Structure 1
Amino acid sequence: MAVPFKASYPLFLCFILFCGVNCTEFEVGGHEGWVVPKTKDNAQMFNQWAAQNRFKIDDTLLFKYEKDSVMEVTEEEYEKCVSTRPLFFSNNGNTVFKVDRPGLFFFISGVRGHCERGQKMIIKVLDIEATPSPQYENGTAPKPHSKSGVAELTPMRIMTASTVFVMATFFLQLYV
């Protein structure tokens, strides 16, 4: 027996809302990752990278690194390159940080000397719904990041399991 379409209206609304969610995962620093800049000329490399991207609430930052850490700190701690009580700390080498509010976020390395050498970053998160901008270098398309030559999707669109579930349930109700 088919379910009347009117009974599917609430589910259809959920489908539209979930499909409208558009969050992006940004790999901090691009293919080089969260590393100490090699030269003093590159001391602003993370802030330059951040300036090329548009961040919004629910986006995630992926910090990839070896033998290091990442901390979210206050503006004062960012300027001093030191924090005894970071707002966020991780040292697992593959840190995902979810942006949960608009405004400025300040990040530094927790390893002594790394922040002073340029391993720090400020991101600005927009207060409005924004379409994410692709990560372009010098106006060219993103380059492949993997050794196999296959381009990685950065920033990548994220479709959650709940979105897939809602979509499947909606279409099943239409045809059952």
Structure 2
Amino acid sequence: MILTTLAKTTMASPFSKLQVFLLSFLIHIYIAICAEFEVNGDNGWISPKHDDQIYNKWAASNRFKVNDTIHFTYKKDSVLVVTEEEYDKCQPSHPQFFSNNGDTVFKLDRPGLFYFISGVTGHCQKGQKMIIKVLEPASPPQQSQNMNSTYNTPETKKNGAVEVAAVTSSTIMLLLISAFC
């Protein structure tokens, strides 16, 4: 019964298996490549009332990668990217980035630390500042030196482990979805 229903919906679908697979694959790749983070969730980029570490706590609870974006929403404020010294003193002299349009998207284009502060007088001192650490990109896997050249098969290591290719659960799900479409 379920297979008959699935077959009817599959045959009635205007999309081919290849189209569905490619769409699923592209969505998977996009999600794996980058993400956009809303600074402080629905509250946005505001001067803290009670917790002067709210933004650093938020940043510490996330994992940022190169090419992720940070989305700041605010009213009558600004976002500056500054040096560590300017961050510590809350005194921007030559910001690396400045925006005051109320809807700022900043791309994290390198690994390392980014220092954000508000440009409104007094806001940084009240805690409207944040440090974001962007992780180093994962290095590509090294070609295994443990391949047995005679048979071109993985070599068993001393502890009995065998090197095998890893397949993620999301790859398996994509294959299953494409098989039924």
TM-fit CA distance, 1:19: 5.0
- How big is each residue's C-alpha offset from its partner over 1:58-114, in whole Å with a ceiling of 9 and x where there is no partner? 100000000000000000000000112100000000000000000000000000100
Q: Counterpart of 2:102?
A: 93
CA distance in 2, matches of 1:55, 1:61: 9
Task: Give me the whole-angstrom Cα distance separating, in 2, the residues matched to 1:72 and 1:66.
Answer: 18
Tell me what 1:62 maps to. 71
Is 1:47 the counterpart of 2:60 in the alignment?
no
Task: Percent identity, please.
Answer: 62
Q: Cα distance 1:90–1:16, how it changes in 2: closer, same or farther (>3 A)? A: same
Tell me, in whole angstroms, the C-alpha distance in 1 between the residues paired with 2:26 and 2:66.
Answer: 16
2:39 pairs, out of 19, 28, 38, with 28
Aligned-partner SS, 1:78: helix
Listed as ranges, the gaps of 5+ residues in structure 1 are 1-14, 130-176
User: Which residue type is aligned with residue 68 of structure 2?
Assistant: D
Question: What SS does structure 1 have at the residue aligned with 2:56?
Answer: helix
2:128 maps to which residue?
A: 119
| Matched position secondary structure for 1:43 | coil
How many residue pairs get matched? 115
User: Quick one: which amino acid aligns to residue 56 of structure 1?
Assistant: K
Deviation at 1:125, TM superposition (A): 0.2
User: What is the RMSD of the two structures over their aligned residues, measured on CA atoms?
Assistant: 2.0
- TM-score w.r.t. the length of structure 1 is 0.61
CA distance in 1, matches of 2:110, 2:25: 23
Q: Residues 96 and 85 of structure 1: is their aligned pair in 2 closer, same or farther, counting only changes over 3 Å?
A: same
Higher relative contact order (CA 8 A, sep 6+): 1
Gaps of 5+ in 2: 1-23, 139-181
Q: Which runs of 4+ in 1 moved over 6 A?
A: 15-18
Q: TM-score, normalised by structure 2?
A: 0.59
Corresponding position of 2:118: 109
**Matching residue's letter, 1:31:** D
Could you say what secondary structure the match of 1:89 adopts?
Answer: strand
Aligned partner of residue 55 in structure 1, secondary structure: coil
Q: Which whole-Å CA distance do the structure 2 matches of 1:43 and 1:96 have between them?
A: 23
After TM superposition, the structure 1 stretch with the greater mean CA deviation from structure 2, 120-129 or 57-66, is 120-129
